[in-house]
Structure 1
Amino acid sequence: MRVLLVEDDRLIGSGVEDGLTEAGMTVDWAYDGKQAQLAMTTTPYDLVILDLGLPHISGTELLDWIRRRNDHTPVLVMTARDAVADRVSGLSAGADDYVGKPFDLTELIARCRALVRRSQGRSTDTIEYDGMIIDPDRLTVMRGSERIGLTARECALLVELLGSQGRPLSRARLQDSLYGWNEEIESNAIEVHVSNLRKKLGSRLIRTIRGIGYVIEVPVQ
């Protein structure tokens, strides 16, 4: 899951970034509305966490810009403004959820996961595929009575491929999903994660399409 955090307060932003990263999410942090606009024109995100009190371009203006682009990325508004009118204004402008500062980090993470889950048409946090139950929160796969542990990156890659069953995803697209702006990426990073998933879950799970990328096929009924 790749998240765009838009927050000008360095202390709050740092805490949120650390918490989301520890929860297995990839986080890009924009300090103002202009930087956020640039990010969203170049990078696909699963979720935007947006502070309303931003310099240069307000959070409300940025939210309006996002929706005028016909961009349906879930937006979680995070702001110190706790008046009912402010909450109503943010939701009316196109926000999908709202959390007031100060907030509990575990609640914020839970709301993030719930928004992404709903945007992907899932009713639960777990994903079922061909006899396996994938739990992204716990970084595990259950296959019968066998419990298989994954790293955060392996799990993120698996979820990304499962979300596009039958449609190949390029290495560049997968890198965008798994790695943030300031992270160093080894040239063979995706290949290593795919290899590890095949060792843990079976060599036939992920198919390589030469010159295109990787795909998990829709299971035969």
Structure 2
Amino acid sequence: MATVLVNNKPVEIGSDRLNCIQAADRAGVEIPHYCWHPDLSVVASCRMCLVEVGDKKPDGTVAMQPKLVPGCQTPVKDGTVIISDSPKVKAAQQATLEYLLLNHPLDCPVCDQAGECGLQDYSFEYGRGYSRLQEPKNIKPDKDYIGDQITLFTDRCIMCTRCVRFTREVSGTAELQVSSRGSHEEIDIFPGEPCNNKLAGNVVNLCPVGALCSKDFLYEQRVWWLKSKK
């Protein structure tokens, strides 16, 4: 039986084809991530899931890779060793979160995602707790025109591209795209082609940070007043 070691905890994976995130989940260990989703293609762009990975040799020694690798993009096999709680990994997580928060607005009091936001949760659990940024934040206009059902708060977006991949790979309509580069990079639509497909509302649920919101639900409720149902 194929076995993987996650933070010194053995977990059997059998013949399943898993990445580091999935293997760690079986061991009860969470590897934080934003861009990865089990039903979408892997882009490894957010860098939140960086881990140390190595191989256990037949003689019992472990050969670790010299650099951190994205857990979402790294498959595991029998003898794979995953470390997600080392000082090196924690430093990378803090640096990634600091970068994601550079231009993120302080919208938490009014954001519909507050209370179930991946950026809030990971900042609390893995972040530094303070910011070294002294410069003004980049301010980007909201995009109410992006679709009849959804609105985009552009400066909240962390560019995980889940929504873009969903419209390309699931709905097959490809209305959403990434425009510009660097700090000017943002989600947009093709001119005259709003995101109005029959599955458009799903991008709201896919968004981990409240950048995409439902127009019908906007500012109507708080998540802690609601009950989750399957």
Task: Give TM-score scaled by structure 2 length.
Answer: 0.31
User: Which structure: greater helix fraction?
Assistant: 1
